[in-house]
Chain A
Amino acid sequence: MKKLFLLPLLVFVLGKSSKAQNTDWRDQVTNQKSLHFNVGTQGVGAEFAYGVLPKMSLRLGANIIPVSADNVFSVSGFNSNSRMSANFSNIHLLADFIPFKSAPGFRLVGGAGYFINAKGKIAVQPKDNYTYGDIVLNNEEVGNLNMNVNWRGFAPYAGIGLLKPFSNRTFNVNLDLGTYFLKQPDANITASGILSGNTSQSAQLQQNLKGYRFLPVVQLNFNFRIQ
């Protein structure tokens, strides 16, 4: 129930701050142009924004995120090091719609992105030398295990924007909160050495990851007005 009160309150606050500066909010959108540089959960990127209608502007941009981390996942019963990496890059076209005249700082955002690259990988390697009876196996003989996931393709986007899309000033900041809905991922396991039989578990991995389709976006935009 509390959440029901939060939205009007947010709209009120965002509207209040905007009204203080702008008497005709429509003029701030139509034909406005700005260049955005952003940083957030989908990495870093840039966008060009243009106000096409009194209540709506379009954004065309691109984002890229290469990230990796060690030992995020452990495989039960296997003394190993793991390295997880993710590489995402997209081009996207988003529409910002201002639904409330009284709150030009609140936007509904929709659109789609094409993920040129959307790969995740978990690489598992043995930590120690394993023994097979009296034989000590080296790392190459034991082998390694790679779980590969690929979401490449189109993905719709929905979210909200906070703070104004354009400003009278040269520079302003706003925020995007939303999510891409990625295509169902293709997943497989590659392996070598005595672990090569793990490729048979690709179907199980695919099953485990079929729900991993939301790519949340929490993004801070730094906007430079183009005169």
Chain B
Amino acid sequence: MKNIKKLLFVLLLLPVACKKPTEDLKIVVDTNVIKYTALIHVTDASNPEVVLKSGTLSVSGDNADDIYEISGNKQLNISNGVIAIGPGPAAVPVAGKPETYSVQVKVPGYNTATKSITFTADQKQQVINVALSKTGSVNSNPVTQKPLPVYDAVGLNFTGTCSSRPDLVIRPSMYVFFRETGSGAAYQYLGYMESGNMTVTALEKGKTYDFQVTYDGQNYGTTQQINNESESLTINMGSAICNNF
């Protein structure tokens, strides 16, 4: 019976070009599974240019089990001073009922810091800056972030690829850091891209920049010269995301 139906379909619409309807179509997957996130940006209190290579985060609170790293993992590892966390799909905040958590930031060689994070229904992204003082010293400096320069607006369209899965296209929803290529400077927070798209004013036309996203304790980057009002960038998403699909 199934074969008869297949034959009927073939007869029903005999293709001239013999092109499969699904030819060259890829599976496009969004990573915005965790819709409410907080970027925790950890820096050295005495010198924000120092990159804190690794560390860990622990979360406490009534529903701490619902908190995941942005790639969906329970392991909360800090890489290059960056980690993004948020409640899973089953625990999204509802209006009038904010969820507050306490996070403890541990980086070897630094004093442990504790911060409070509150997720509310009307704020999908937030940035928490944490300045750590070296062990044995006291942090008296307030956290100051270098202000972003302002230029004409540029649209960035990131397409995530998987080297092991050429049939898969990822539309990442991630926090993006950047620096001018060759500057040797520390990566600076640029903004949040939603489903691969973001519009920024911190990029100067004609210059080339390194862009970096961090998840699952790993950094993934790409380089792009900014020449147009809209630029398309490709970024290899690595196994943490690609192996999910």
Contacts and interface: CB of A to CB of B under 8 A. Distances in A.
A197 B88 contact: no
A198 interface: yes
A201 B25 CA distance: 7
A77 B167 CA distance: 7
B11 A218 contact: yes
B25 A205 contact: yes
A214 B24 CA distance: 22
Contacts of B195: 197
A195 B28 contact: yes
A77 B68 contact: no
B197 to A, nearest CB: 11
Contact of A77 (B13, B33, B168, B196): B168
A84 B13 CA distance: 13
Nearest to A200: B28
Nearest to A41: B11
A147 interface: yes
Contacts of B2: 69-70
B24 A204 contact: yes
Contacts of B14: 179, 214-216
Contact of B8 (A67, A132, A195): A67
Interface string B122-136: 000000000000000
Nearest to A197: B28
From A69, A130, A131, residue with most partner B Cβ within 10 Å:
A69
Nearest to A68: B5
A178 to B, nearest CB: 12
Contacts of A72: 5-6, 9
A73 to B, nearest CB: 6
A216 B9 contact: no
B15 A212 contact: yes
Interface stretch (A16-24, A134-142, A156-164, A166-174): A134-142
Q: State the main secondary structure of chain B at its contact with A.
A: loop
Given A67-B9, A72-B6, A211-B15, A194 B21 contact: no
Given A130-B244, A133-B71, A141-B89, A73 B22 contact: yes
Interface in A186-227: 194-198, 200-201, 204-205, 208-216, 218
A215 B13 contact: yes
B28 A215 contact: no
Contacts of B6: 69, 72
Contact of B33 (A122, A194, A210): A194
Interface in A41-97: 41, 65, 67-70, 72-73, 75-78, 84, 86, 88
A75 B27 contact: yes
B118 to A, nearest CB: 21
A86 B25 contact: no
Contacts of B180: none
Nearest to A194: B30
B23 interface: yes
A194 B72 CA distance: 14
A5 to B, nearest CB: 26
B19 to A, nearest CB: 5
Interface string B160-203: 00000101110100000000000000000000000110000000
A214 B13 contact: yes
B240 interface: yes
Interface in B19-39: 19-34
Nearest to A141: B89
Nearest to A131: B244
B72 A201 contact: no
21 contacts: A65-B12, A67-B8, A69-B9, A72-B6, A76-B22, A77-B165, A77-B245, A131-B244, A132-B31, A133-B71, A141-B89, A147-B21, A147-B22, A194-B30, A195-B28, A195-B29, A197-B196, A198-B28, A201-B25, A208-B20, A216-B14
Given A41-B11, A72-B6, A216-B14, 10 more contacts: A67-B5, A67-B9, A84-B9, A132-B33, A147-B22, A194-B33, A201-B25, A204-B24, A215-B14, A218-B11
